[in-house]
Each structure stands twice: as C-alpha cells, then as structure tokens.
C-alpha cells in the first residue's frame, strides 16, 4: 500500500501526467478580442465610422460584406467566451450561425476584392483623391488582387476544417483562430495605409505573424509542444505571403486577374 502510494505521488510529478493549469482558459477570448479590435481599427474610417470621414457612400454589396464579417468577429468573441465560461451546449447551438456565415463571406469577399481591383470602393476613391499613396500591400491592382483572394481561400479552408472537426475542441478552436487570423490582412493593410500612407511589407506580414506566434507560445506553455494545427496551419498562412507576391507577378496570374475584372 505504501509502495503504491509513493509510486502514485512520483507519477504526479511527471510532466506528461501533470494537471493542466486553468490560466489559459481565456486565451482564445483574448485572441478573438484582439482580432476584433484589429478589424475595427482597419475599417473604422471606411465602414464603422465612415460618416465622420470624407468617404463616398458604399454600394449595397459592401454593406453586406461588412455586416457578414462583423457578425463573424462578434460571433467569434461570443463563442470563445462561452467556452471559457464552460457553456458548451450553448456554444454548440450558437455555432450553427457560424456555419451559415462562411459561404456568404467567401462570396462577398471575392466579389469585393474584384471590385476593388476595378477601382471601386472607398479605399480606391481615397487613393484617387491623393489621400493615400498606396493601400493593401502596396501592389498594382491586378497584382495585388491575389492578396485578398488568397485570404478568402485560406479563410474558407481553415473555417471549413474547423467546422468539420468541431467535435475535437483542441483542433476546432485552432482552426477557427487561424481562419480569423487569415482574414486580418485587409484590416491590417488599411490601418497601415491610414497611419503611414502605405503598408510596409515587413510590418504587414509581421502583424499577422504576431497572432500566429501568440498561439505558438500558448501551445508551448499549455501542451509543452506546438499543436500540429498551429504548426502546419501557421506555416501555410505565413508562407502564403511570399507565395502570393511571387505568384502575383506571373503572366499566368495577371492574365487570370485581367479576365476577372473585365
């Protein structure tokens, strides 16, 4: 009896059987809030508080697009908070809304990206008036269109994987976090455009990488390793940026982009 008790006590000191601390329970709430604040700051002049700035009126499509993406951000914060509060059943019921948002978000996101490449939308108007020198990653329209379209592709892949793996919480929440991080570049690019007149690539990519790095640090502290979803999903997201820039300069992409905007 004494030997068994001693062995049990020793086993409890081993890293692989220690009880996980609860301090990380609200991490994904913080991530969701940080992402929501980033989106607000990026679109504060062109959407959320546009009545206070000299911006042209938005076409109805831009309003639908903005409403859908705002709903996603608010839903993300709510869903993360429900998990942190251990309201699992309610989290699953509310999560159905997210499933219905993904396809309309993909459609409007792609259409708005094409419209921006055509010179439509409030950002393009600000550039034409000289209020901004460049926007997004500072690329010509046809070349730069690959950035938001790839953003939509990655968002769809990560969000779809998150929905497919919704019964595996550790996988599900990381895919959903990556889906949201994947769609932050337009907000980050616009915020940098308003602040600095252009979006410096190093700062642009670094800001996105900061969100990925935060999950990596969280994984290391909580799990003692980087979760495979964080590792491979984060790598795919970060490597997509130089990949987009390289592909956007090719004749194949420029021909395809010209076909999209005609």
Tell me, yes or no, whether 1 lies in a domain: no
Residue 195 lies in domain: 26-261
Q: Is residue 123 within 8 Å of residue 116, measured between CB atoms?
A: yes
- What mean pLDDT do residues 132-149 have? 69
What pLDDT score does 219 carry? 96
Predicted TM-score of the model (pTM) = 0.81
> What are the distances in angstroms from CA 255 to CA 110, 143, 180, 247, 261?
17, 10, 30, 12, 10
What pLDDT score does 24 carry? 66
Tell me, yes or no, whether 132 lies in a domain: yes
Tell me, yes or no, whether 198 lies in a domain: yes
Which residue has better confidence, 128 or 173?
Answer: 173
Gap between the Cα atoms of 28 and 33, Å rounded: 8
Tell me, yes or no, whether 6 lies in a domain: no
Tell me, yes or no, whether 18 lies in a domain: no
Model confidence pLDDT, tens digit, residues 22-57 = 446 789 999 999 999 999 988 888 888 888 877 777
Q: What token pair was written down for 107?
A: 């459609």
Q: Is residue 156 within 8 Å of residue 211, measured between CB atoms?
A: no
Confidence of residue 119 (pLDDT cuts 50, 70, 90): confident
What pLDDT score does 18 carry? 44
Question: Does 144 score more than 90 pLDDT?
Answer: no
- What mean pLDDT do residues 251-255 have? 93
Count CB atoms within 10 A of the CB of residue 93: 11
Tell me, yes or no, whether 131 lies in a domain: yes
Tell me, yes or no, whether 78 lies in a domain: yes
Question: Does 19 score more than 80 pLDDT?
Answer: no
Tell me, yes or no, whether 164 lies in a domain: yes
Model confidence pLDDT, tens digit, residues 202-224 = 677 788 899 999 999 999 999 99
| Number of independent structural domains in the chain | 1
Q: What token pair was written down for 39?
A: 């989106």
Residue 245, C-beta contacts closer than 8 angstroms, at least 6 positions apart: 137, 139, 201
């Amino acid at each position: 009896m004494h030997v068994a008790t001693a062995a049990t006590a020793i086993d409890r000191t081993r890293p692989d059987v220690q009880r996980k601390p609860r301090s990380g329970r609200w991490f994904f709430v913080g991530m969701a809030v940080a992402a929501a604040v980033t989106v607000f700051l990026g679109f504060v002049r062109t959407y959320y508080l546009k009545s206070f700035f000299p911006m042209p009126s938005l076409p109805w499509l831009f309003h639908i697009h903005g409403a859908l993406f705002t709903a996603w951000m608010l839903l993300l914060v709510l869903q993360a908070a429900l998990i942190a509060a251990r309201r699992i059943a309610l989290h699953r019921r509310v999560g159905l809304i997210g499933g219905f948002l993904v396809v309309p978000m993909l459609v409007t996101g792609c259409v708005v990206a094409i419209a921006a490449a055509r010179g439509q939308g409030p950002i393009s108007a600000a550039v034409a008036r000289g209020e901004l020198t460049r926007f997004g990653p500072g690329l010509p329209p046809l070349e730069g269109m690959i950035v938001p379209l790839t953003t939509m592709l990655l968002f769809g892949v990560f969000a779809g994987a998150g929905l497919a793996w919704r019964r595996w919480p550790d996988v599900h929440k990381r895919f959903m976090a990556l889906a949201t991080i994947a769609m932050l570049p337009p907000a980050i690019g616009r915020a940098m455009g308003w602040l600095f007149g252009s979006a410096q690539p190093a700062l642009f990519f670094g800001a996105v990488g900061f969100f990925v790095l935060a999950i990596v640090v969280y994984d290391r502290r909580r799990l003692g390793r980087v979760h495979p979803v964080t590792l491979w999903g984060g790598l795919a997201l970060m490597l997509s940026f130089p990949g987009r820039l390289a592909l956007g300069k090719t004749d194949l992409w420029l021909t395809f982009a010209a076909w999209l905007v005609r």
